[in-house]
A = this chain, B = another copy of it.
Amino acid sequence: MAKAPPVDRRRQILDAAVRVFARQGFHACRVSDIADEAGVAYGLVYHYFKSKDQVMNELFTERWSLLLAAIEEVDKRDIPPREKLDAVAGFIIDSYRHDPDLMKVIIVEVTRAANSFGRTHMPEIKRAYDGIAKIVSDAQASGAFRDDIDPELASMWFYGAIEQLLSAWVFGLIPADEDAFERARAMVVETVCGGLEARRD
Contacts and interface: CB of A to CB of B under 8 A. Distances in A.
Given A115-B28, A191-B195, A174 B156 contact: yes
A160 B150 contact: no
A8 to B, nearest CB: 21
Interface stretch (A11-19, A69-77, A93-101, A182-190): A182-190
Chain A: interface residue count, which band? 35 or more
Given A25-B115, A170-B114, A173-B129, A191 B160 contact: no
Nearest to A129: B173
A163 B165 contact: no
Q: In the assembly, how many copies of this chain are there?
A: 4
Nearest to A184: B153
Contact of A159 (B24, B28, B164, B190): B164
A103 to B, nearest CB: 12
Is chain A's interface secondary structure helix, strand, loop, or mixed overall? helix
A61 to B, nearest CB: 19
A123 to B, nearest CB: 11
Contact of A191 (B149, B171, B184): B149
Interface in A123-163: 126, 129, 149-150, 152-154, 156-163
A192 interface: yes
Given A195-B195, A195-B196, 4 more contacts: A25-B115, A27-B27, A114-B171, A161-B161
Interface of A: 24-28, 108-109, 112-116, 118-119, 122, 126, 129, 149-150, 152-154, 156-165, 167-168, 170-171, 173-174, 183-184, 187-188, 190-196
